[in-house]
Amino acid sequence: MTVKLLVVEDEPAIQELIAMNLKQAGYSVLCANDVTTAIKLCNEVLPDLILLDWMLPDMSGVDFAKKLRREARTKDIPIIMLTARTQESDKITGLDAGADDYITKPFSPRELIARIKAVMRRRLPEMSDEIIEIGGLKLDPVMHRVHAQIGNDPQSIELFLGPTEFRLLHFLMIYKERVHTRAHLLDRVWGDHVFIEDRTVDVHIRRIRKILEAAGKENLVQTVRGAGYRFSVEKNDEVAD
């Protein structure tokens, strides 16, 4: 999955340098010179992460970060503040405003990319490429493959999931043992600007269970009555549907 970054920076040379390096690193990059443009871009497509300069012409980066955190649609977007300031109190102001990290100019492209990766790992693990293995299921996000072990058999079988089922299972496995409401799953798995009914989630959950049944692992995806769904290796008496 291509990670979409929004760079909000009013100095053309710095903006260009950042954008060029991030594109080379495989990110999809949008740029804004000011907060007004950044808001417009966010209304169209929600970025996965925002690189936000502190000093901008129409509103400070700190105030924009606060605004993003106040609004339901943008409150979870990871933010890295870019600034020339080095004082400790400024760092605290940025983090208080809701920034996830802070990088001081001048910085090397390598450092910037390392910081982006660290924030993404912490905040958006579902976008990570790491293979995930739980309860005899092994999911590979790069190869888009799921393998299941049956009982103690060291040989595994491949399970074939559709793209939505794959993303949903990946999300549930990453946030294992946590209960997710249907609304939360729609937000995080189906994405922004999608208006579909909660029942859609149930349909895809049923499909996943049906596929997992082939390996006797349907109980890994559990219904928590009145709350939602979770992936768990613990037994659950509530399992229904």
Stretches 2-10, 106-114, 169-177, 200-208: which one binds Ca ion (CB under 5 A)? 2-10
Q: Does 55 bind Ca ion (CB under 5 A)?
A: yes
Distance separating alpha carbons of residues 97 and 104, to the nearest angstrom: 16
Residue 55 vs 127, nearer CB to Ca ion: 55
* CB 56, min distance to Ca ion, A: 6
Other Cβ atoms less than 10 A from the Cβ of 95: the count is: 15
> Which stretch, 26-34, 53-61, 158-166, 176-184, contacts Ca ion (CB under 5 A)?
53-61
Q: Is residue 15 within the footprint of Ca ion (CB under 5 A)? A: no
Residues contacting residue 152 through CB under 8 Å, at least 6 positions apart: none
Binding part of the chain for Ca ion, among 9-17, 153-161, 183-191, 201-209 by CB under 5 A, reads 9-17
Q: Smallest distance, Å, CB 102 to Ca ion? A: 15
| Strand-by-strand arrangement of the 4-8 sheet | 28-32, 4-8, 49-53, 79-83, 101-104
Minimum CB distance to Ca ion, residue 83 (Å): 8
- How many residues would you count in the chain? 241
For the chain, give percent helix, strand, coil, nearest 5.
40, 20, 40
Q: How many residues bind Ca ion (CB under 5 A)?
A: 3
Q: Would you count residue 103 as binding Ca ion (CB under 5 A)?
A: no
Q: Which of 58, 187 has the CB closer to Ca ion? A: 58
Binding status of residue 202 toward Ca ion by CB under 5 A: no
Give yes or no for residue 18 binding Ca ion (CB under 5 A).
Answer: no
Asked if residues 120 and 101 have their Cβ atoms less than 8 Å apart, the reply is no
Identity of the residue, 32 or 186, whose beta carbon is nearer to Ca ion in the bound complex: 32
Query: Which C-beta is closer to Ca ion: that of 52 or that of 185?
Result: 52
- Bridge partner residues of 6 (DSSP): 30, 50
The residue type found at 111 is: E
**Omega of the bond prior to 78 within 30 degrees of 0, cis?**
no
> Rule CB under 5 A: which residues touch Ca ion?
10, 53, 55
